[in-house]
Amino acid sequence: DGGITQSPKYLFRKEGQNVTLSCEQNLNHDAMYWYRQDPGQGLRLIYYSQIVNDFQKGDIAEGYSVSREKKESFPLTVTSAQKNPTAFYLCASSILGQGASPLHFGNGTRLTVT
């Protein structure tokens, strides 16, 4: 079955540590995205990538970094510079270039930093 796999489902880290969230898709989609979801705020775009080896900042990129070395993979690193890293992180993908192309989401990683 095609889909998006995010791992781990739950992640706990101490303040000051960098942490990397994994996202893999086998939908053959060109575009991939990272969103952050906080209660009452909806989904906010962190980074997105439309092609391998290229990515753009979203609305809240500060304190995060990404890479896109393979079409299937788009890992997100939450750095120690991110002031409020505790959140639910969602990875998504879509077919590039179609205005009505829906996003397909993974089941998220809940990150807790103490």
Partner 1 sequence: QKEVEQDPGPLSVPEGAIVSLNCTYSNSAFQYFMWYRQYSRKGPELLMYTYSSGNKEDGRFTAQVDKSSKYISLFIRDSQPSDSATYLCAMRGEYGNKLVFGAGTILRVKS
Judged by the rule CB under 8 A, the positions of this chain that interact with partner 1 are 4, 6, 31, 33, 40-43, 45, 48, 50, 58, 90, 92, 94, 96, 99-108, 110
Give 16 or 39: the residue with its C-beta nearer to partner 1: 39
Taking the complex as a whole, the smallest distance from the CB of residue 88 to partner 1 amounts, in Å, to 8
Taking the complex as a whole, the smallest distance from the CB of residue 80 to partner 1 amounts, in Å, to 26
Helices (H) then strands (E): counts for the chain: 0, 11
Taking the complex as a whole, the smallest distance from the CB of residue 9 to partner 1 amounts, in Å, to 8
CB 29 within 8 A of CB 50: no
Taking the complex as a whole, the smallest distance from the CB of residue 90 to partner 1 amounts, in Å, to 6
Q: Round to whole Å and give the CA distance between 23 and 74.
A: 5
Give 81 or 96: the residue with its C-beta nearer to partner 1: 96
- The sign of the dihedral angle between the CA atoms of 52, 53, 54, 55 is positive
Task: Let me know if 35 is exposed, middle or buried by CB neighbors in 10 A (0-12, 13-18, 19+).
Answer: buried
How many residues are there in the chain? 114
Give 19 or 92: the residue with its C-beta nearer to partner 1: 92
Give 19 or 31: the residue with its C-beta nearer to partner 1: 31
